[in-house]
């Protein structure tokens, strides 16, 4: 419940405040979102499996975002930024699908 409220407040703040993202941060924004979504799906799966722990969720959320951004930053420095961000997005998307499949199995037994 608190999660949904947080999400809605975040969206509202984003719309009302409409912050200007610094230019150097822009390439990492989509990566950070996908990484965070991965953590969210992982957390939801843990919730379904009744082993959710908010400390683990918080750590995985933040570390996912940081690691994904650092990887892309490193890729940019090495000159393979585009490939690296594609790779990170592909891997994270695969994990999201895997987690979604697990959630679906528990929710619908299908």
For other proteins, the binding residues (CB under 8 A) are: 2-15, 18-19, 21, 26-27, 29-30, 32-33, 36-37, 40, 54, 57-58, 61-62, 76, 79, 81-82
Tell me how far, at minimum, the Cβ of 3 lies from other proteins, in Å. Answer: 5
Nearer to other proteins, 29 or 74 (CB): 29
Q: Is 53 left (phi over 0), alpha (psi -120 to 50) or beta?
A: beta
Tell me how far, at minimum, the Cβ of 63 lies from other proteins, in Å. Answer: 12
Nearer to other proteins, 62 or 106 (CB): 62
Tell me how far, at minimum, the Cβ of 47 lies from other proteins, in Å. Answer: 10
Task: Give the chain as a DSSP string.
Answer: -HHHHHHHHHHHHHHHH-PPPPGGGTTHHHHHHHHHHHHHHHHHHHHHTT---HHHHHHHHHHHHHHHHHHHHHHHHHT-HHHHHHHHHHHHHHHHHHHHHHHHHHHH--
Nearer to other proteins, 53 or 105 (CB): 53
Tell me how far, at minimum, the Cβ of 21 lies from other proteins, in Å. Answer: 6
């Amino acid at each position: 419940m608190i999660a949904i409220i947080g999400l809605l407040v975040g969206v509202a703040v984003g719309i009302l405040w409409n912050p200007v993202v610094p230019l150097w941060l822009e390439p990492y924004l989509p990566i950070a979102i996908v990484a965070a979504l991965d953590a969210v799906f992982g957390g939801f799966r843990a919730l379904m499996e009744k082993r959710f722990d908010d400390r683990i969720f918080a750590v995985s959320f933040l570390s996912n975002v940081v690691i994904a951004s650092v990887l892309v930053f490193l890729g940019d420095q090495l000159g393979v930024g585009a490939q690296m961000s594609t790779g990170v997005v592909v891997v994270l998307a695969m994990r999201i699908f895997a987690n979604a499949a697990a959630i679906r199995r528990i929710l619908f037994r299908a």
